[in-house]
A and B are shown apart, each in its own frame.
Chain A
Amino acid sequence: MNRFDDEPLSPEERALADRLGRLGPHDGPSPALDAKILAAAHAAVAPPQRRRRHWLGLSAIPGGLITGTGMAAALVLVIGTVWQLRPSDPAPRPILDEGEMAPVEAQIIARPREVIAPPPPLVEAPSPAQAAPPSANRSAPVMQRKAAPAVVAAAPAPEPLAEVAPARVATVGPDEALHYDTNARKASAVQDYPDQRGVMPAAPPAMPAPASAAPAAVDAQAEAARKEAFGLMRAREQQSIDEERMAAARKQAAAKAEASAQPTLDRTEVTGSRVRATEISDVELIETPVEDDARLDRNAWIERIRARRDAGDVDRARESLALFRKAHPRVSLPQDLRALAQPATTR
């Protein structure tokens, strides 16, 4: 301990040292002073992280656990933030009643069925290809699928047609009811030819029902005679077979829809709105209040205004356009609608 040569005290020095030792003081520093100095020494050599954990009362927990928990919490926070900030539809979806939602949702489900549902051979060879209006020749196959069930359903009488569609919607439940249009003509077309529903979204957007109503009525009478030949039992058997096919196709489509990506659904949803806006019949256009146009999104609303104008309902088209300009004052009108807006402003 002593790196210098020891120099023991002389006897005289030893005697004085003993006397000095008895003189005191005999006590050392106080315990409080000892504790203060020892604490400072411990703190000086303790790692900073350990000191912080001790201060937090977490000294008994392994450091790796704390680090892992912290990283997991941070990861959850980041994922949650990204999920909240993910791109979404900029405009809120208009609130629609069930009748209006049906065609939109039908487009969502019908889109993947284009791939998965091969068209089976038709049991009844439809003859009304000639009955299709000349203006619809571009989509002749589709029109054949639509026209045929319309004839079949309309064969007994006009009244049963209105009864059949709601009854079927009621039996398949609210979810499946979304796949049907409220339009009885379209509903019967879907039910009688479920395997062809995948073609429906590709149909021309504007297909006014009255345009095909007249030839459909003529075909209905002709087809009614043929229907009587087969008998009512034959029709019901066919109807049950078609329902089974439709149920199977619906299951496959639902599985495909789940496997398909979310963006596809989003895109289809927007497309459905446009189709809905443009496929509305003239009768519905007239019966639909102008205020309901405000429920549509911006593009669908524009299409609705065009549809009103093209249907000859210029006043309602102007009213709808005025509402549109109030709702979207910063949106520049399409060129073809500016002329419609001019008289309204000058009037």
Chain B
Amino acid sequence: MNAGADTDDDVLMLAWAAGDAASFELLYARHRGSLYRFLLRQLRDPALADEFFQDVWQRVIAARQGWKPEAAFRTWLFRIAHNRLNDYWRGLKHRPAAPEDADERAARVPDPSSPERELSEFEQRRRLQLAIEELPEEQREVVLLRLEQELSLEEIGAITGAGRETVKSRLRYAMDKLRARLNE
């Protein structure tokens, strides 16, 4: 199959399930970064993010034969990640605490701007990171799927299993808290 960069995810997924390994390579390259960042931002642990990332793709591989293009591949992929995270949260019985070195890690991010602006943007990013980490789990997931993955409310609902209005409400609450935290 001559799968190109503009080939639909569903077509790639069907081609790979039929035996075309190159289609999976395209599909993987298209979603690897966004999925990994989503997991890392949720888990805040690179080693754990690696484990979850591999686990999610293993589930994709295992479920390839039964996959049907009823939903978008990206929606299906993030729903797997969502379920995996939920299992993990339920196992922990509580939300993970912010890492102790969060500030140091944020400080290591390079920025070629001027010192004044650098201080300003560093502060803004730090505040944004803290604000996201303080969000409840459901709101944090919704706002990350919306801001990072730029998913629609319906897609977020399909991933999280919540209705559109519930997603809309969670997103609204999350945006209000972020706005308030960043304007402090």
| A interface, CB within 8 angstroms of B | 1-7, 9, 12-13, 16-17, 19-25, 28-30, 33-34, 36-38, 40-42, 44-46
Inter-chain contacts of B162 with A (CB < 8 A): none
Q: Is B125 an interface residue (CB 8 A)?
A: yes
Smallest Cβ-Cβ distance to B127: which chain A residue = A19
Smallest Cβ-Cβ distance to A47: which chain B residue = B19
Interface residues on chain B, size class: 35 or more
Q: Is B87 an interface residue (CB 8 A)?
A: no
Q: Is B173 an interface residue (CB 8 A)?
A: no
Do residues B57 and A20 form an inter-chain contact, with CB atoms below 8 A? no
Q: Is B37 an interface residue (CB 8 A)?
A: yes
Do residues B53 and A20 form an inter-chain contact, with CB atoms below 8 A? no
Q: Is B154 an interface residue (CB 8 A)?
A: yes
Do residues B19 and A33 form an inter-chain contact, with CB atoms below 8 A? no
| B interface, CB within 8 angstroms of A | 8-9, 16-21, 24-25, 28, 32-33, 36-37, 40-41, 50, 53-54, 57-58, 61, 64, 71-72, 74, 106, 109, 111, 121, 124-125, 128-129, 132, 146-148, 150, 152-155, 158, 175, 178-179
Q: Is the interface of A mostly helix, strand, loop or mixed?
A: helix
Give complex CA distance A44, B16 in Å. 10
Give complex CA distance A38, B54 in Å. 10
Give complex CA distance A33, B50 in Å. 8
Could you pull out 16 A-B pairs where Cβ atoms are within 8 angstroms? A1-B9, A3-B72, A12-B175, A12-B179, A22-B109, A23-B106, A23-B128, A24-B109, A29-B36, A34-B32, A41-B28, A44-B64, A45-B16, A45-B18, A45-B19, A45-B64
Give complex CA distance A12, B128 in Å. 13
Give complex CA distance A13, B175 in Å. 8
Inter-chain contacts of A5 with B (CB < 8 A): 152, 154
Inter-chain contacts of B121 with A (CB < 8 A): 22
Do residues A7 and B152 form an inter-chain contact, with CB atoms below 8 A? yes
A38-B106 contact given A2-B72, A28-B33, CB 8 Å threshold:
no
Inter-chain contacts of A30 with B (CB < 8 A): 50
Do residues A33 and B153 form an inter-chain contact, with CB atoms below 8 A? no
Inter-chain contacts of B125 with A (CB < 8 A): 19, 22-23
Give complex CA distance A42, B32 in Å. 16
Do residues B128 and A16 form an inter-chain contact, with CB atoms below 8 A? yes
Give complex CA distance A20, B171 in Å. 16
Give complex CA distance A147, B80 in Å. 109
Do residues B150 and A4 form an inter-chain contact, with CB atoms below 8 A? no
Do residues B146 and A33 form an inter-chain contact, with CB atoms below 8 A? no
